[in-house]
Structure 1
Amino acid sequence: MQSQDAASRPAPSADAPGTDDPPAAVAPPVGVDQAEAALVEHYPRLVRLAHLVLPPGMGRTRRVLTAHALVQRALPGRRTPAPAIPAQSAGRAADPGYALVRLRVVRTALEAGLPLRRPAWPRRSQLPPLLPSIWGLRVFPRPGGADELALDRALAALTGPGRAAYALRGLERLPDDAVRRVLTEAGAADPAGALAEAGSVPGGPARYALLAAAEFDPCSLQVRPTDLMRRRTRLRAALAGGAVLVAGAMLLGPPGGDRDGDGPAAPPYARNAAAQAALDPARLVRVSPTAWLTSARTDFSVWPARGDRVGDRELLRRALAVWARPGERVRVSATPGTPAGGPAGPPHLLYAGTVDAARVVLLYDGLRVVRYAEPEDSSAGAALDLARTDGAGRADATAVVLARTDGNVRYLTAPWVTKAAGRDLTEPDADATGLALTDGVTEPLAGPVPRSGDCASWTALELTDDGTTRLLSDLGELVPARLTAGPPGAAKEVSGARARHAWAPYACSLGAVRGQGVRSVNAWEFAKQPLPHATGTARWVCTRAETWRGTGARVLAQFHTPGGRYGAVAAKATDVPACGGRAPEVLAGVLWKSKKHGWYLLAAGSEGTASVRASGGIDAAADGRVLAARAGQGARAELTAELADGRTVRGLR
């Protein structure tokens, strides 16, 4: 049969390892490491190829597992001469490692479809694979549409070499000459006949795109149980036969050596009754779903235990053990000032469930909220996050981060939260986007991750609690920071349009306090200043980020000119009382350039400022709260202010 015209077939995709380049005259041997790299890189494509070639008659589950087994056994045992089959698309260097692995997959897939003959020993590929194995479950690819079903039936009517020829044409994008060489190397008796079979499939090359559908993807599977009654009978027989072995193992095992359920935890340093009680899943504190309605406290201690794995003792045991003794491979993070070490007594269970392909446990010991997470399919790659939350009240204990996936965040909300939404702080007039709550867990919400150098938006979490609306922002930690607006000592929730407008120009400044253990951030407009030459009125805003540890507060004085979208940071300081409840006074200055009249020093103080003075590089003074004086570009000055009660305040730096 003549090979198809290349123009009549789809062009190779960017990730397709097929080619129509001629092979090199002399191919160097392929090392095991080179073949392994090709197998790992193209594993999903190779498994799909094996699945297409294997006979459908072996059953869906065995066909899927056999496809994975054949690919995993495709590595050569030593350096092997590269086959004379090209492995990448035109214009790229050939990959002999992929060509070798692909050839071995096709060869063994064809062998698996051969009938067993009595006089001869069966080949390994003809036997059910030992690994991978799944007990008690049936697995099969997701069903496709009518077109995929029709193609699957058409392929089932072909011989193994015919299916291989169709897959090499459609999936690998190989021309007929290369397909013929692959089939010959794989041991097919009649490559030309196989090509003729492949060409008889209805639809022609136009249906090759269907091979990328989920119907033919053994890496994306559905799961169902096997025959439960038969399985129960076999299980009883196995238990009866193994009872003696289990009893002997228990007698021979060393006392106190049970740590298999500890997962990735480190070995215990010592055994004592108090420590063991704190790490016993059966002693975890679980409160009633309605406890918060009558409790004198409304904080994390009255959150009920939620999630679909609150009864998974093994998961809870691993979480407690890793908290007390995180192993070397556990990724541990903690907000600044958070004490390390396990709980002093049995902690509260807040959540245990599956979230975005991970098993997550949230615990609380009165001082800290702890999050343990592990992949859904194993306990390898576990992570432990700790956050200090002592002194949290109803407003602070409203949400905890459950998971961050692909730039999105899921939260677990307090039982008193009745509604959740996402709100872009930079768009104060835009409507909030509602978030569904399922047992307290929110839908995924886009995290506040601005692009480098261009803060396009800042998404905050808006929660409603008995008529009170609160805004919280994820700052990369376990507990989101609460946002407020207003003068120190009288700050209020950011719940109305006026408060949102006050926050809008300064939302992106929240990025400066990520990872600082921030408890709350308050924005306070402390002064307005007419600009020189009647060019408008500027606003001065102080944002203060308080931490859970009480020290390390970050203060930013920001200057906002009319018409600008964002404010400019005029001054910043760490661990100072300015702009806070203990010392609400603040003084800040900035160099500002008029479009027509050059540079000015502008300074402003909070209410109660009687006069402002600049010294050093600029010598100027003014009565009242604001100062405007001509200055040179790059000039520096020391600012001081005298308050109405006679005290002196220095400028924020």
Structure 2
Amino acid sequence: MDERTRAEVERAEAAIVEHYPRLVRLAYLVLPPLMGRHRRVLTAHGLVQRALPWRARRPRPDGGLPAQRGPAAESGYDLVRLRTLRLALAYEGRQGLGLPTVPVVWGLRLFPRAGGVDELALDQALSAVPAAVRAAIGLWHLEGLDEDAARAVLARAGIEDPDAAQRAAGQLDRETGAGAATLLNSGEFDPCTVQTRPTDLLRRRQRVRTSVALAAVVAIGAVVAGVPGGDGDRAGRAETAAQQALDPARLLRTPNEQWADTSRVDFTAWPARGRQAGDKKLLARALRVWAAPPADARITAAADTSTRPPDHPPQLLYAGLIDNVMVVVLHDGERLVRYAEPEDATPTLHFARVDGADLTTGAALVIGRGNGWMRYLLAPWISDVAVRDLLVAGAPVHGLHVAPDGVTDRIPTPPAAGAGCGRWPVAQFRSSTRIVDAAANPAFLLTDLDDLVPVHLTYLPPPSGDRPGSGPREATGPPALAGLAHTACQLRSLRGAGVRSVNIWAFAAQQLPENGGSATWVCTRADTWRGPGSVTVRFLPPATRPADPGRLAGRAANTAACSRFGPHVVGDVHWQAKSGKWYLLAAGSREVGGIDATGGVRATGTSATLAAPAGQNASAEVVGRLRGGGSVRALRP
């Protein structure tokens, strides 16, 4: 217990009152993103309110000996900031910790205001680093401390290696760019300015009498137990909330047309569909299995997706019979849960993170799957869906029938690992003009990688001339389809990894020695729902077959490379000309102004490409020099 004098406690209380939003924002940043936005908001507020120290030490009485001289007492704000950091850091790796006793919010889900693409990308980057690194970033950009002051605070907060935390924070800062400070002060990271969503909608009004009776029973039970207003009462309320989460009558149901009249176009806008959407017995079984899976139940979860029971009534998306299997799909604001009940077989549960879904990544989910086929359940805003083969870039698309409840006909699944790769079916979607202007409504592609939610495919062409390239675009144009044909079969390595999107970036073109033609360098980046991403760099020589994957030049996991927060990339390979002579080839992205090779090959170039004679197996260290200063190492295979 932190014992303080009355004066110190009063200063701390004044600091909390004066700087409350600032402290809550810092706590929210440090808390683990895996907690989910609603729980992080409540926990951040609770931790700051708990940061007020206890007053248990009495000042010395008058006439006593004077205290020894020492360092000046810390300010009230420094004290509560330090206590807030310690409390928030304690949650790292311990998501099972309960919510602080305050505040308590019933019947609402709280979320910070959604930001744009930049805020989302920064949030994903922050979710991939430890709490100590997020704390260092917060002390720099939210608190305005320099490195020495931040190091001292981190050390006092219990960080074992503050210098390592600051080095990692500096790396993240460089990758995310100079706008990180502005983004961290935006509404996306402000847990004091929140949006609310009800958990049981208008059903409360119809159940006033039941609620009053239930409250009376709880109150009587608390009196009998002898714990009025104490821990027993809180436990009773928690039990009631858990019971409400398992009540099929309390499931949230979005109105059918809300998707066309909302600014949040994601899974929260999906209406409840399916012939069994009113079957309370089926819904109750699905909720019970989710809350307490039987021993023989099969449970599948995407990477880093929690399988915890519901803590509030979830939203119903679908309930119906799919290929002789009863299927229920629920959404708790952060996860999708698909319950499948085959005849004479054990039930199955499939969990997937979908926090931060949007128009494209919330466009479909896998409602049924069999041997070599699957079906999608489409978002209500999808107006057209077709199927195409990625390995045949110029092949026409084939229309796909959709049932009135949004379920598609069977779609062939991409080939499994180890099998031949003669085709790669993907679905091509188009959104309704009710929410997207017809002139700016490109089709988009989703592919199945064995998760509950398909993966969004995008393409980023190299910048033309002196104009910088724009952001990723939909991968439906001829250059994008040609790039995807080379990459499609390599997507099999990403199955079941919780991938949200895959972007293909043709970051450089290179004229080969001895009139060998023009080659293309491509970086494929896979971003996961939990934040971290992985990349592969491939070299595509001229005259390759449409589906030839080219040569692997480099790869990396848990990296910002080939994203807007890691826009610089270099790759290198050994290549043999028609004459039989071997060369070291290297190429970099737009801001690479020169390339140096050392080790077994020594060469220097003054542009974004390099070609130097080299032995077939000569080792080389390749580094690109950036036009604005700094360097970037080539990724290794």
For normalisation by structure 1, the TM-score amounts to 0.57
- Which consecutive unaligned segments of at least 5 residues does structure 1 have? 1-268
CA shift, 1:583, in A, is: 1.5
Query: Secondary structure of the equivalent of 1:316?
Result: helix
Alignment pair present for 1:604 and 2:584? no
Q: Which residue of 2 aligns with 1:472?
A: 446
> Is the contact made by 1:529 and 1:539 (CA closer than 8 Å) also made in structure 2?
yes
Q: Deviations over 1:506-553 (max 9, x none)?
A: 1112112222111100001000011111121110011100111112x1
CA shift, 1:341, in A, is: 0.7
For normalisation by structure 2, the TM-score amounts to 0.58
Alignment pair present for 1:417 and 2:400? no
> Is the contact made by 1:612 and 1:641 (CA closer than 8 Å) also made in structure 2?
yes
Query: Secondary structure of the equivalent of 1:645?
Result: coil
Q: Deviations over 1:232-287 (max 9, x none)?
A: xxxxxxxxxxxxxxxxxxxxxxxxxxxxxxxxxxxxx9992111100111111111
CA shift, 1:451, in A, is: 6.7
Name the CA distance, whole Å, in 2 between partners of 1:558 and 1:605: 12
Query: Secondary structure of the equivalent of 2:514?
Result: helix
Choose the corresponding residue for 1:404, options 362, 369, 392: 369
Alignment pair present for 1:516 and 2:482? no
> Is the contact made by 1:399 and 1:411 (CA closer than 8 Å) also made in structure 2?
yes
Name the CA distance, whole Å, in 1 between partners of 2:552 and 2:313: 46
CA shift, 1:432, in A, is: 0.8
Q: Which residue of 2 aligns with 1:534?
A: 515
Q: Which residue of 1 aligns with 2:525?
A: 544
Alignment pair present for 1:446 and 2:412? yes
Q: Which residue of 2 aligns with 1:554?
A: 534
CA shift, 1:450, in A, is: 5.1
% same residue: 45
Q: Which residue of 1 aligns with 2:341?
A: 374
> Is the contact made by 1:513 and 1:554 (CA closer than 8 Å) also made in structure 2?
no
Match for 1:515: what amino acid?
G
CA shift, 1:594, in A, is: 2.3
Q: Deviations over 1:128-148 (max 9, x none)?
A: xxxxxxxxxxxxxxxxxxxxx
Query: Secondary structure of the equivalent of 1:385?
Result: strand
Q: Deviations over 1:149-168 (max 9, x none)?
A: xxxxxxxxxxxxxxxxxxxx
Name the CA distance, whole Å, in 1 between partners of 2:293 and 2:621: 50
Name the CA distance, whole Å, in 2 between partners of 1:518 and 1:413: 19
Name the CA distance, whole Å, in 2 between partners of 1:598 and 1:402: 54
- The total of aligned residue pairs comes to 382
> Is the contact made by 1:489 and 1:581 (CA closer than 8 Å) also made in structure 2?
no
Q: Which residue of 1 aligns with 2:426?
A: 460
CA shift, 1:453, in A, is: 6.1
Alignment pair present for 1:388 and 2:335? no
> Is the contact made by 2:587 and 2:608 (CA closer than 8 Å) also made in structure 1?
yes
Query: Secondary structure of the equivalent of 1:533?
Result: coil
Alignment pair present for 1:615 and 2:595? no
Structure 1 moving runs of 4+ over 6 Å: none
Q: Deviations over 1:344-393 (max 9, x none)?
A: 21111001111112111110000001111111x24x32111000011111
Match for 2:446: what amino acid?
L
Query: Secondary structure of the equivalent of 2:617?
Result: coil
Choose the corresponding residue for 1:354, options 312, 321, 329: 321
Q: Which residue of 2 aligns with 1:632?
A: 615
Alignment pair present for 1:344 and 2:311? yes
CA shift, 1:489, in A, is: 6.2
Match for 2:544: what amino acid?
G
Alignment pair present for 1:432 and 2:397? yes
Name the CA distance, whole Å, in 1 between partners of 2:286 and 2:539: 47
Match for 1:432: what amino acid?
V
Q: Which residue of 1 aligns with 2:255?
A: 288
Name the CA distance, whole Å, in 2 between partners of 1:450 and 1:615: 41
Alignment pair present for 1:317 and 2:291? no
Match for 1:386: what amino acid?
F
> Is the contact made by 2:417 and 2:492 (CA closer than 8 Å) also made in structure 1?
no
Of stretches 326-335 and 487-496 in structure 1, the one that deviates more from structure 2 is 487-496
Name the CA distance, whole Å, in 2 between partners of 1:587 and 1:424: 31
Name the CA distance, whole Å, in 2 between partners of 1:596 and 1:497: 33
Name the CA distance, whole Å, in 1 between partners of 2:280 and 2:551: 52
Match for 2:543: what amino acid?
G
Match for 2:581: what amino acid?
G
Choose the corresponding residue for 1:591, options 574, 591, 616: 574
Please, what is the CA RMSD of the aligned residues? 1.7
Match for 2:381: what amino acid?
W
**Which has the higher Rg, Structure 1 or Structure 2?**
1
> Is the contact made by 1:603 and 1:627 (CA closer than 8 Å) also made in structure 2?
yes
Name the CA distance, whole Å, in 2 between partners of 1:593 and 1:321: 63
> Is the contact made by 2:456 and 2:500 (CA closer than 8 Å) also made in structure 1?
yes
Q: Which residue of 1 aligns with 2:72?
A: none
Alignment pair present for 1:332 and 2:299? yes
Match for 1:447: what amino acid?
T
Q: Which residue of 1 aligns with 2:37?
A: none
> Is the contact made by 1:611 and 1:643 (CA closer than 8 Å) also made in structure 2?
yes
Trace 1:224-263 onto structure 2 (pairs within 5 A): none
